[in-house]
């Protein structure tokens, strides 16, 4: 990737991994408001220009005008499903109104817009996989707000002929993920010999993709794709119980699982078909077993990173991971 790139939410989980991937190729401007899920340490050794700003702020339009990027990658989002159940309005405000603000800047200054979506926009599916043309049926305030952002982005594409590309990926995991999410929380609680809570029976199914593979997919869409929507999936479907069990086996602590009351509106299974993306030449490089081993190893070796984060990870509360954050 060459030229100038503006990355919103670049100090979050997926955003920071993406910035690390392209920092030596492009002129990168990172925008972040450093709220929950963002961490200045995520890019502490990466030479990029950083602007502390909320994507809802009207000054975003001035920033886009002044920087004149070739691409805007919108990773900024409120992303934790459990938080959205408690505080839905903040998710609507950031994920919908914030995206609208960015789209308006992209429209005014003719910038290609890459919206980072989620497979949760489609809702649950018991068999088969969703394709990009399938209707949306989100279940949580989080997924509904992300679906709203996608619909607004595609409306800008149709109405204003703006070059908009949307990626909807399966559940991500890997380094720099906020500790409240399923995988890092399991690792951290296990390292403290604390019970690991699992919703319901733990049989809910997710397709898991290593964050580096998703970042490569997003870059592929930017470099080779056309306006439209692209699903991103690795074909690594696991139940939540399988994910937790695998982590505990790696750590040699298999007896820490504690089943808790299920979350309201907990979707049973997500699955998306990524044939359209794979036709551009993208393929996931990392198997789940390899990726989870790399991830566990990273959290074990980087206690300095997560010990300094003020989160509820050591509280015995239900949780599960979602795609962004």
The residues assigned a catalytic role are 119-120, 142
Q: Are 69 and 4 in contact (CB under 8 A)?
A: yes
309: CB partners within 8 A, 6+ apart:
39, 178, 179
**Residue 317 Cα to chain centre, angstroms:** 22
**What end-to-end distance do the CA atoms of the chain give, in Å?**
23
Residues 254 and 240: their CA atoms lie apart, in Å, by 15
Torsional sign, CA 58, 111, 160, 15: negative
Q: Are 136 and 122 in contact (CB under 8 A)?
A: yes
Nearest to 248 by CA among 287, 207, 209, 292: 292
Quick count: other Cβ atoms within 10 Å of Cβ 309? 16
Q: Strands 205-210 and 171-173: what pairing?
A: parallel
């Amino acid at each position: 990737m060459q030229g100038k790139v503006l990355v919103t939410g670049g100090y979050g989980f997926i955003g920071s991994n993406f910035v690390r991937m392209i920092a030596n190729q492009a002129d990168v401007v990172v925008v972040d408001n450093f709220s929950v899920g963002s961490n200045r340490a995520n890019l502490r050794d990466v030479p990029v220009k950083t602007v502390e700003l909320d994507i809802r702020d009207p000054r975003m339009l001035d920033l886009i005008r002044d920087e004149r990027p070739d691409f805007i990658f919108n990773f900024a989002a409120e992303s934790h499903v459990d938080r959205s159940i408690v505080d839905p309005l903040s998710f609507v405000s950031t994920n919908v109104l914030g995206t609208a603000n960015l789209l308006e800047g992209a429209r005014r200054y003719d910038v290609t817009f890459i919206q980072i979506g989620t497979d949760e926009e489609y809702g649950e599916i018991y068999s088969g996989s969703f394709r990009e043309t399938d209707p949306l049926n989100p279940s949580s305030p989080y997924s509904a707000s992300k679906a709203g952002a996608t619909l607004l982005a595609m409306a800008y594409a149709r109405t204003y002929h703006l070059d908009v590309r949307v990626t909807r990926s399966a559940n991500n995991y890997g380094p720099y993920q906020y500790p409240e999410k399923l995988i890092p929380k399991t690792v951290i609680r296990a390292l403290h010999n604390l019970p690991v809570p699992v919703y319901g029976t733990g049989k809910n199914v997710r397709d898991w993709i290593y964050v580096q593979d998703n970042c490569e997919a997003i870059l592929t869409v930017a470099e080779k794709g056309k306006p439209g929507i692209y699903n991103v999936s690795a074909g690594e479907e696991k139940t939540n119980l399988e994910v937790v069990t695998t982590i505990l086996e790696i750590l040699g602590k298999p007896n820490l699982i504690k089943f808790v009351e299920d979350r309201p509106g907990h979707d049973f299974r997500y699955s998306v078909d990524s044939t359209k993306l794979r036709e551009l030449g993208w393929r996931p490089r990392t198997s789940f077993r390899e990726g989870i081993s790399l991830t566990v190893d990273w959290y074990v070796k980087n206690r300095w990173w997560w010990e300094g984060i003020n989160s509820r990870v050591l509280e015995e509360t239900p949780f599960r991971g979602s795609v962004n954050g």
